[in-house]
């Protein structure tokens, strides 16, 4: 597996690597990151750092820097001589394609998002990414992605001979015990007040500012928690808006919860929010991990209208949708969610949905895909 960042915080990579290891494959994750071998990412999975030397990262011109990063994977690929090269995201597709050609391996392209639909900072970089994906996706032996909507778009855009397999980012964490208290309310200093949760990184384009403005329209008793990291440079902007809206007492920012306790924390919220803004096609078509984590915790959801996430929430009656650019629309959805505290029918629908959003089903699709790639000499079939 090739990854352009660390696997420690990438739940999808860890789930897939563990599933393939359990199925009898020997799995290596080549990471463009430093690797602490004491951090366990799954039994039978080995992590290898392919990070270029520090002087390259700190001194090389931009083009040379990017070329060095792309080339960093190939010595390790040639040394390992894998039967399958699994490239995670468009960032590793080019070295994955080259590595597969050099070693005679099969190539799996795992598209975590619609790369051609991301809003890039420059048109030149967007054109480069699109070209890489067109070159690699059409030559891959299999393509995987995260939603039916993105699978349809990849198939039509590149005229793929087979529709990409959908391996959804459902939650594989152990479901919380109903009698066990979590730590969300204690960490935020919130007792029994209505609690809104934004889980995952706070960043531009994720509806954070609209959410703050919506919270300011709600009753003073309502509390909002941002649980997770904040994109560098974005924190001061959020803090300034919190002060401007006089929300300092009502808004809390907490770091990531321990992974093995995450759902126990999530369960203490009254509503979970996923408000990706329609700034690019990728945001409209993706279904964020947090949505499945809310459902796994039986927490109703407020999601963006006109998005794949919003469609899922509406179809399953798992919560409400709102215009992610309109604070009043979001406030109305949050009022409805808070009014539904204790709604057993809603909790039953969330519970039933979670029964279908299980990693076991996605894992089977993944191992079946690898089985279809067989016969691959030297690899025991799953």
Q: Which phi-psi region, left, alpha or beta, contains residue 216 (left: φ > 0; alpha: ψ -120 to 50)?
A: alpha
Question: What is the pLDDT averaged over residues 298-313?
Answer: 95
Q: How confident is the model at residue 54 (pLDDT cuts 50, 70, 90)?
A: low
CA 315/CA 312 separation, integer angstroms? 5
Angle (deg, nearest 10), helices 93-103 and 62-71: 40
Any idea which residue has 């090269």 for tokens? 85
Tokens of 172: 């594989």
Report the distance separating Cα 167 and Cα 139, nearest Å.
Answer: 20
Q: Where are the alpha helices (DSSP H) in the chain?
A: 11-22, 54-59, 62-71, 73-80, 93-103, 123-137, 148-158, 184-188, 208-216, 235-244, 262-266, 281-285, 289-296, 308-316, 327-339, 344-356, 359-373
Q: Would you call 9 helix, strand, or coil by DSSP?
A: coil
Spell 108-145 as b/e; 16+ CB within 10 A means b.
bbbbbbbbbbbeeeeeeebeebbebbeebbeebbbbbb
Show the tokens assigned to 276.
Answer: 């990706």
Q: How far apart are the first and last CA of the chain?
A: 17
Q: What is the pLDDT of residues 247-259, one digit of tens each?
A: 999 999 999 888 8
Which residue shows structure tokens 């799996």?
108
pLDDT in tens, 58-70: 555 555 556 667 7
All domains of the chain in start order, with CATH: 2-170+359-373 (3.40.50.2000), 184-356 (3.40.50.2000)
Q: What share of the chain is helix, strand, coil (3-state, %, to 5)?
A: 45, 15, 40
Q: pTM for this structure?
A: 0.82
Least confident segment among 38-42, 86-90, 292-296 = 38-42
Question: What does the pLDDT look like over 141-196, one tens digit per residue?
Answer: 999 999 999 999 999 999 999 999 999 999 988 888 766 677 999 999 999 999 99
Q: How high does pLDDT run on average in the chain?
A: 89
CB contact at 8 A, 146 and 111: yes
Predicted confidence at residue 51, as pLDDT, reads: 85
Other C-beta atoms within 10 Å of 255: how many?
10
Q: Which two tokens stand for residue 39?
A: 């951090």
- The answer to whether the beta carbons of residues 320 and 313 sit under 8 Å apart is yes
């Amino acid at each position: 597996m090739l990854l352009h960042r660390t696997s420690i915080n990438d739940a999808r990579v860890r789930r897939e690597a563990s599933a393939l290891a359990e199925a009898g494959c020997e799995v290596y994750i080549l990471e463009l990151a430093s690797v602490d071998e004491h951090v366990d990412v799954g039994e039978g999975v080995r992590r290898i750092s392919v990070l270029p030397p520090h002087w390259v990262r700190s001194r090389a011109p931009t083009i040379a820097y990017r070329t060095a990063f792309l080339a960093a994977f190939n010595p390790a690929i040639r040394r390992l001589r894998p039967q399958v090269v699994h490239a995670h995201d468009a960032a590793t597709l080019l070295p994955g394609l080259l590595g597969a050609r050099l070693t005679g391996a099969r190539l799996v392209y795992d598209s975590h998002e619609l790369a051609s639909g991301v809003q890039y900072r420059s048109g030149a970089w967007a054109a480069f990414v699109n070209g890489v994906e067109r070159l690699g996706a059409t030559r891959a032996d299999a393509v995987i992605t995260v939603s039916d909507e993105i699978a349809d778009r990849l198939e039509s855009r590149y005229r793929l001979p087979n529709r990409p397999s959908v391996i959804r980012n459902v939650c594989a964490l152990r479901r919380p015990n109903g009698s066990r208290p979590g730590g969300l309310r204690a960490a935020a200093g919130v007792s029994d007040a209505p609690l809104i949760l934004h889980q995952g990184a706070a960043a531009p384009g994720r509806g954070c500012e609209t959410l703050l403005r919506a919270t300011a329209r709600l009753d003073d008793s309502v509390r909002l928690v941002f649980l997770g990291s904040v994109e560098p440079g974005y924190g001061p902007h959020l803090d300034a808006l919190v002060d401007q809206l006089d929300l300092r007492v009502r808004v809390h920012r907490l770091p990531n919860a321990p992974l093995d306790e995450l759902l126990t924390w999530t369960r203490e919220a009254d509503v979970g929010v996923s408000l990706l803004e329609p700034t690019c096609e990728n945001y409209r078509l993706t279904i964020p991990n947090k949505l499945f984590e809310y459902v796994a915790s039986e927490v109703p959801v407020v999601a963006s209208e006109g998005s794949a996430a919003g469609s899922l929430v509406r179809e399953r009656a798992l919560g409400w949708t709102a215009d992610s650019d309109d604070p009043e629309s979001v406030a109305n959805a949050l009022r409805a969610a808070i009014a539904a505290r204790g709604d057993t029918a809603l909790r039953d629908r969330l519970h039933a949905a979670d029964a279908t959003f299980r990693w076991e089903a996605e894992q089977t699709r993944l191992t079946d895909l690898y089985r279809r790639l067989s016969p691959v000499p030297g690899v025991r079939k799953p």
